[in-house]
Amino acid sequence: MTKVNAWLNAARLRTLPLSISGILVGTAIAAFHGVTNPFVFILALCTTIGLQITSNFANDYGDGVKGTDNDERVGPKRALQSGILTAAELKRGIYISIGINIVLIVLLIVTSFGLKQIIYTTLFLILGAFAIWAAIKYTVGKSAYGYNGLGDIFVFVFFGLVSVLGTMFLYLKAIYIIDFLPAIAIGLLSVGVLNLNNMRDIKSDKSVYKNTLVVKLGLQKARMYHYTLLSISFLCLFCYLFTTNGSLIRYVSLIGFVPVFIHMRKVAVTNNEAELDPELKKLALSTFFTALLFFISYYYFL
């Protein structure tokens, strides 16, 4: 394997569609309120992708040096685990990606707020710094929050609330209460992806004392938690669509939940954790598909 392929492996490109789902929804909501800005949109996408890649590098490094990624782990081999990249190389990659993230965050904030709105600029710089910290500390270090059952909270906050409402604020300089509903919907779907990942890895995580929420709950309760996340997500999005004005085409995003409900049935009848691995891709792509349909319907038709 070439070094380029090794870094692409570590970047885990299959995770990127999920990461940009909130950007699509936040941009669509802003357009619904009458504000668009292609430069903000492009920079927001690049910033989110950059943060996700940093997180993937850090997760590969953190789980690798802790021994969490071992032969018992189900799913694709990680870069450090398989030896295609060394710990030192991954660490350099993390530092470089952090530098790129800082540049993108500053460009995004300046493009949105200019140089005169000091309060907004400062708040978003702090938020950007916290996002970089969260991307790294999920698995890196002794106090990694992913090892203490807090990953679900951080995913909900950053993939849902910050991604959707933060993006919307970059355009509108305002947040409306009703817009929390789609933010919660995307956040819960994203938590569902993490929960499914942790259900798949429950045995290997438990063996290395990675105390994810699934390890704490147990597999059966984790299944009920999974159904609850996805069901509430659907209800939040439906309520938002029902309460906003526009043509019936706004309901098209609910089509994205058809494979989600099929997925829920699959999880219910699956007893072998390894068989949950293909469901990860399905749920992540269903989330992206839902966000994309929402974007198209609200950006172009309402």
Among 92, 95, 104, 62, CA closest to 80? 62
Q: Which of 176, 164, 171 is nearest to 109 (CA)?
A: 171
Please spell the DSSP secondary structure of 38-62, one letter per residue: HHHHHHHHHHHHHHHHHHHHHHHHH
User: What is the spatial distance between Cα 159 and Cα 24, in angstroms, rounded to a whole number?
Assistant: 12
238: left (phi over 0), alpha (psi -120 to 50) or beta: alpha
Count Cβ atoms within 10 A of the Cβ of residue 256 and give its class: 0-12 exposed, 13-18 middle, 19 or more buried.
buried
Question: Counting every residue, how long is the chain?
Answer: 302
The 10 Å CB-count burial string (b at 16+, else e) for 122-157 is: eebeeebeebbebbbbbbbeeebebbebbbbebbbb
Q: Which two tokens stand for residue 59?
A: 């997760």
Q: Per residue of the chain (302 residues), what is the pLDDT tens digit?
A: 577 887 888 888 888 999 999 999 999 999 999 999 999 999 999 999 999 999 999 988 888 777 665 556 565 666 676 678 888 889 999 999 999 999 999 999 999 999 889 999 999 999 999 999 999 999 898 889 999 999 999 999 999 999 999 999 999 999 999 999 999 999 999 999 999 999 999 988 888 889 999 999 999 999 999 999 999 999 999 999 999 987 899 999 999 999 999 999 999 998 888 889 999 999 999 999 999 999 999 998 87
Domain that holds residue 64: 3-300
Dihedral (Cα; 135, 140, 144, 147), 10-degree rounding? 100
Other C-beta atoms closer than 10 Å to the C-beta of 236 total 21
| CA-based nearest residue to 223, from 266, 274, 285, 275 | 266
Task: Determine the Cα angle at 165 with ends 159 and 167, to 5°.
Answer: 85
Q: Could you tell me the CA-to-CA distances from 100 to 93, 94, 243 in Å, in that order?
A: 11, 10, 40
Whole-angstrom CA distances from 282 to 22, 73, 141, 178, 260 are: 17, 20, 31, 28, 8
Quick one: residue 67, left, alpha or beta (phi over 0 = left, psi -120 to 50 = alpha)? left
Write the CA distances from 3 to 42, 54, 67, 85, integer angstroms: 28, 17, 23, 8
φ/ψ bin of 145: left (φ > 0), alpha (ψ from -120 to 50), beta (otherwise): alpha
Q: pTM to 2 decimals?
A: 0.94
Interatomic CA distance for residues 69 and 78, integer angstroms: 7
Supply the pLDDT for residue 71: 56
**CA distance linking residue 73 with residue 132, whole number of Å:** 27
- What domain count does the chain have? 1
Which of 61, 54, 48, 205 is closest to 139 using CA atoms? 61
